[in-house]
Amino acid sequence: MTASTSSRDGADQPSKIDLSTLQTESRNPRTTELDVVSTLEMCRMFNHEDMLVPMAVSQHLETIARIIDRLTERVRRGGRVVYLGAGTSGRLGVLDASEILIAGGDHALRHPVEGAEDSREECIATLRSLSPPLGPDDSVIGIASSGRTPALRTEGNCEEVVECVVGGEVVTGSTRMKAGTATKLILNMVSSGVMIRIGKTFGNLMVDVRTSNEKLVVRARGILRSILDSLPPTTGLALVSAGKLDLQDDVAVSELIERCGGVKVAAVVVRWACGVPEARERLDRAGGVLKPALV
């Protein structure tokens, strides 16, 4: 289950769920002979069960879209997104987020900590320890395979809940498998969707790429050229027209991107033959989204 935790009645009540009734603990009738089939057949079982996961996720696209829209509004106002998870769920959050709270602390990320997911007190204390404190524009996304993890059923209530039922695991109770895959797919959509909505892409190009190594420098050049090539023929490239930039000159293009501090500003500079401050102003007026800043 993936939920943005902030408004669901009763979410802070002690969990009394019978674990034997949980889908994540159910035995999969299709894999009961897992230990005696051939290795190839075992792999087919894995593959078949994995193929069921995207269909399960597809049942929740409307909810996921609402979560993306809610988060986008808050992030635009300067809000933070905090992922809160235990065990494998927390580790999946690490793959997807820049600010993560792991039940059991940082040590639990690399070393299993028994009972961490049951520590409601630690969860509350960790949330309250954030600096600056959580505010009205901040969002907390709780991640749990079963949906009953006490560490996530604590502060406040939930605005949205994604209860993605993937059925019994290939190996009973091993939620790092199908449940983990579903979690990763959902988090991919949420984080990528928010980044797209706040202007981190031009089409499907990552325009806020940081040129921290040679591979990314080459990628940034390619992105800038692709952006400029995609503009309508009637759209002039003032810097090129003025003879101040040869887009085929790798060194010149790389220097421009570095001087501008990134691809987005560089694209605006080339389009309008303006200085970096004006280019940033144009982007600010466009809400940080590149396309409207180029027309």
The H-assigned helical ranges of 158-244 are 178-197, 214-230, 238-241
- The reply to whether 255 belongs to the active site is no
Marked catalytic residue, from 25, 33, 49, 99 = 99
**SS3 per residue for the chain:** CEEECCCCCCCCCCCCCCHHHCHHHCCCHHHCCCCCCCHHHHHHHHHHHHHHHHHHHHCCHHHHHHHHHHHHHHHHCCCCEEEEECHHHHHHHHHHCCCEEECCCCHHHHCCCCCHHHCHHHHHHHHHCCCCCCCCCCEEEEECCCCCCHHHCCCCCCCEEECCCCCCCCCCCCCCCHHHHHHHHHHHHHHHHHHHHCCCEECCEECCCCCCCHHHHHHHHHHHHHHHHHCCCCCCCHHHHCCCCCCCCHHHHHHHHHHHCCHHHHHHHHHHCCCHHHHHHHHHHCCCCHHHHCC
CA 102 – CA 116 distance, rounded (Å)? 9
- The reply to whether 117 belongs to the active site is yes
CA 154 – CA 122 distance, rounded (Å)? 10
The encoded tokens of residue 44 equal 């087919």
CA 188 – CA 199 distance, rounded (Å)? 17
Marked catalytic residue, from 49, 117, 155, 160 = 117
Enzyme catalytic residues? 99, 117
